[in-house]
A and B are shown apart, each in its own frame.
Chain A
Amino acid sequence: MPQIELAGIERVFRLGDSEVHALRTLDLAVAAGEYIAVMGPSGSGKSTLLNLLGLLDRPNSGTYRLEGRDVTTLTADEQAQVRRERIGFVFQSFHLVPRLTAAENIGLPMMLAGIAPAERSRRVDQALKDYGLASRADHRPDQLSGGQRQRVAIARATIMRPAMILADEPTGNLDRATGEDVMALLEGLNAGGVTLIVVTHDAALGARARRRLLMEDGLKVEDG
């Protein structure tokens, strides 16, 4: 059974009078532990695909089975629970909460999940050590470098031990060397068994993935 199974997914946005088909009749199956790069020009629908996979958006038609369960029919709160427990997000612009420290940002998903504070601080300490941020625990995001910020974001994405990580241009705001470090980090997680789906329009980055999806105009034009 594939971990992710999309069948006949359509997503239509309404812009004034016109309809924009961000995704049309998309079918996709992803096995657990895969490393996929989603590529394509701007407006090809790759971000929409990522939002759908992350349950941030709902398709207009089609079904999305995650680990065998149809998640498109879940209520908003049930979807929030799936996001909390199964999905980790990494964003191009990091999306750290500016007033919280690195440690607090990493602990945020556990706080939302209602995990006890003692357990939280134990896991945050471990994550800070694992990602080389131990000396930065009490720094706020504006006191961190870009690479450190993205490492905090990755630590946050993995703290709940999700089944998959969805990364939207994770190196887009980083220089090449730092981007390389971040990608190595993500690929290391993938090697540990986590499904990794990266959206990028950097061909070099896409070439690193074992499977590439090329999107164009809401259609999957190449898979493999």
Chain B
Amino acid sequence: MKPADKLRFALAATTGYPLRTALLILAMAIGVAAVVTLTALGDGARRFVINEFSALGSNLVIVLPGRSETSGFNPANAITGTPRDLTIDDAQSLTRLPAVRRVAPLIIGTSEISAGGKLREVMIAGTTSQYAEVRRLVLAQGRFLPEEDWSRGSPQVVLGTTVSNDLFGGEPAIGKLVRLGDRRFRVVGVLNPIGTGLGMNSDEIAIVPASLAQAMFNSNTLFRILIEARHRDAIEPAKVQVLRQLTERHDGEEDVTVITQDAVLATFDRLLGALTFGVAGIAAISLAVAGILVMNVMLVSVTQRTSEIGLLKALGATGSAIRDAFLAEAAMLSLAGAVVGYGLGQLGSAVVRQLYPTFPAYPPAWAVMAGLGTALATGILFGVMPARRAARLDPVQALAKR
């Protein structure tokens, strides 16, 4: 029997029983559609989170004081284990690095802020003029901190929108004086409402020059240095250059940790990728159920067509020809189901995207391939047993059956 004839014969068998074929294709299609749609949701969640994170500012490299990991023996470690302060001068030295575009030191603390008899607790962020660009901050009123000597800041403050409203109500805050701790600052700008990022709520913040913040908190060390690399490919060189520069400045001791936004993103990427994978696994169960259904239907089909199988044997069909014809039939049903299910799944994803335009629910390519592959594999795998049973039928008994 020629392969093309086997396929044609199997095709005729599937179209010969339209209801059975339609139901089986539907079952397989639901399984594949579930895989496609659910992974689209999972992967959509992953992309959504990554997009949100990218809004923090792009190409970010962050320096933290202290080591978060050890790396072999360093002669300097033998002499002193105390980390040096991460100073404003350290931060300023980084601006000269080739892969670095902008640098913003960051000191964090809390203090009381008061104006016109109103007083509240506020989070102070001490930094320099480029912080606005690094964090992509947008001002609602006024301007950001001026470009000036990092170690001698002038008493100016930029307020978060909530702080501004608490102190001045709806009135414009620009030019007003506020008291922070025991110093007086002039308000030069108010931020647009933004919300939370990097663990602090930018609406509840007062931004002052870094040197003044250090003086207020009586501290020489920085909380972070935020660095914006020149472009995406410059992130890794920037990381290396920053680490080398700071190690040099700290007498050869590597006492800072440099992380990239990419590393943080990669963690989320892995987490949500695993979630998608898990969801795909759950959906794959429905594929296994569909596979068992294929087996069931094919077994019934073998029973129904017993006399036909007997006839084929009497006409000289070999066992393998009959087995192949039934296998081809199972494969065709699974394939048709997989294709229909793929279409349904894409349709479902499109509907989700239509309902939630910000949610990028596209099924990942691997899930689509795995879904189609699993459908075909289960269909054929579960088709083997019925096909073998058909091939082994005794022709005399098969012919006797009506």
Q: For the complex, is B72 an interface residue (Cβ under 8 Å from A)?
A: no
User: Does B320 contact A108, Cβ atoms closer than 8 Å?
Assistant: no
On chain A, the residues within 8 Å of B308 by CB distance are 97
Q: Which residues of B (290-327) have their CB < 8 Å from a CB of A?
A: 307-308, 310-321
User: Does B314 contact A77, Cβ atoms closer than 8 Å?
Assistant: no
Q: For the complex, is B5 an interface residue (Cβ under 8 Å from A)?
A: yes
CA–CA, A195 and B318, complex, Å: 24
User: Does B16 contact A57, Cβ atoms closer than 8 Å?
Assistant: no
Residue of B nearest to A112 (CB): B317
CA–CA, A173 and B399, complex, Å: 16
User: Does A77 contact B307, Cβ atoms closer than 8 Å?
Assistant: no
Q: For the complex, is B119 an interface residue (Cβ under 8 Å from A)?
A: no
User: Does A95 contact B316, Cβ atoms closer than 8 Å?
Assistant: no
User: Does B16 contact A99, Cβ atoms closer than 8 Å?
Assistant: yes
User: Does A80 contact B316, Cβ atoms closer than 8 Å?
Assistant: yes
Q: Number of contacts between A and B (CB, 8 Å)?
A: 67
User: Does A54 contact B314, Cβ atoms closer than 8 Å?
Assistant: yes
Q: For the complex, is B351 an interface residue (Cβ under 8 Å from A)?
A: no
Q: For the complex, is A218 an interface residue (Cβ under 8 Å from B)?
A: no
Task: Name, among B9, B13, B316, the residue most crowded by chain A CB atoms within 10 Å (CB to CB).
Answer: B316
Q: Point out the residue from B317, B396, B402 that lies within 8 Å of A56, measured CB to CB.
A: B396
Q: For the complex, is A147 an interface residue (Cβ under 8 Å from B)?
A: no
Q: Mostly helix, strand, loop or mixed at chain B's interface?
A: helix
Q: For the complex, is B1 an interface residue (Cβ under 8 Å from A)?
A: yes
On chain A, the residues within 8 Å of B22 by CB distance are none
CA–CA, A130 and B245, complex, Å: 99
Stretch from A27-35, A83-91, A121-129, A207-215 forming part of the interface with B: A83-91
Q: Point out the residue from B315, B320, B402 that lies within 8 Å of A109, measured CB to CB.
A: B315
Q: Which residues of A (86-109) have their CB < 8 Å from a CB of B?
A: 89, 91, 93, 95, 97-100, 104, 108-109
Q: For the complex, is A25 an interface residue (Cβ under 8 Å from B)?
A: no
User: Does B313 contact A156, Cβ atoms closer than 8 Å?
Assistant: no
Q: For the complex, is A148 an interface residue (Cβ under 8 Å from B)?
A: no
Q: For the complex, is A111 an interface residue (Cβ under 8 Å from B)?
A: yes
Residue of B nearest to A157 (CB): B315
CA–CA, A185 and B313, complex, Å: 25
Give the interface size class of chain B. 20 to 34
User: Does A83 contact B315, Cβ atoms closer than 8 Å?
Assistant: yes
Q: Point out the residue from B12, B319, B402 that lies within 8 Å of A77, measured CB to CB.
A: B319
CA–CA, A95 and B309, complex, Å: 10
Residue of B nearest to A86 (CB): B316
On chain A, the residues within 8 Å of B313 by CB distance are 56, 80, 83
On chain B, the residues within 8 Å of A99 by CB distance are 12-13, 15-16
Q: For the complex, is B2 an interface residue (Cβ under 8 Å from A)?
A: yes
On chain A, the residues within 8 Å of B399 by CB distance are 56, 91, 95
On chain B, the residues within 8 Å of A184 by CB distance are none
On chain A, the residues within 8 Å of B395 by CB distance are 56
User: Does B320 contact A83, Cβ atoms closer than 8 Å?
Assistant: no
Q: For the complex, is A81 an interface residue (Cβ under 8 Å from B)?
A: yes
User: Does A83 contact B314, Cβ atoms closer than 8 Å?
Assistant: yes
User: Does A111 contact B9, Cβ atoms closer than 8 Å?
Assistant: yes
User: Does B316 contact A109, Cβ atoms closer than 8 Å?
Assistant: yes
Q: For the complex, is A16 an interface residue (Cβ under 8 Å from B)?
A: no
Q: Which residues of A (32-79) have their CB < 8 Å from a CB of B?
A: 51, 54, 56-57, 76-77
User: Does A95 contact B311, Cβ atoms closer than 8 Å?
Assistant: yes
Shortest beta-carbon distance from A103 to chain B in Å: 13
CA–CA, A54 and B312, complex, Å: 13
Shortest beta-carbon distance from B329 to chain A in Å: 12
Known interface pairs A93-B402, A111-B1, A114-B5. Does A80 touch B318 (Cβ–Cβ under 8 Å)?
Answer: yes
Shortest beta-carbon distance from A146 to chain B in Å: 15
Q: Which residues of B (1-34) have their CB < 8 Å from a CB of A?
A: 1-2, 5, 9, 12-13, 15-16
CA–CA, A113 and B315, complex, Å: 9
Residue of A nearest to B312 (CB): A112
Q: Point out the residue from B13, B319, B321 that lies within 8 Å of A112, measured CB to CB.
A: B321
On chain B, the residues within 8 Å of A113 by CB distance are 1, 316
On chain A, the residues within 8 Å of B9 by CB distance are 111
Known interface pairs A99-B13, A100-B12. Does A84 touch B315 (Cβ–Cβ under 8 Å)?
Answer: yes
User: Does A111 contact B5, Cβ atoms closer than 8 Å?
Assistant: yes
On chain A, the residues within 8 Å of B5 by CB distance are 111, 114
CA–CA, A18 and B312, complex, Å: 32
Known interface pairs A56-B399, A111-B9. Does A97 touch B311 (Cβ–Cβ under 8 Å)?
Answer: yes
On chain B, the residues within 8 Å of A82 by CB distance are 316
On chain B, the residues within 8 Å of A85 by CB distance are 316
Residue of A nearest to B307 (CB): A95
User: Does A56 contact B316, Cβ atoms closer than 8 Å?
Assistant: no
Contact with A along B194-206 (1 / 0, CB 8 A): 0000000000000
Q: What are some 18 contacts across the A-B interface (CB < 8 A)?
A: A54-B314, A76-B318, A76-B319, A77-B318, A77-B319, A77-B320, A80-B313, A80-B318, A83-B313, A84-B315, A84-B316, A89-B315, A91-B399, A93-B402, A95-B314, A108-B315, A111-B1, A112-B321
Sample of 16 more A-B contacts, CB < 8 Å, known A76-B319, A100-B12, A112-B312:
A56-B395, A56-B396, A80-B317, A80-B318, A84-B316, A85-B316, A89-B314, A91-B399, A95-B310, A95-B311, A95-B314, A95-B399, A97-B311, A111-B2, A113-B1, A156-B315
Q: Nearest 9 pairs between A and B by C-beta?
A: A84-B316, A99-B16, A83-B316, A56-B395, A80-B318, A95-B311, A77-B318, A109-B315, A112-B317
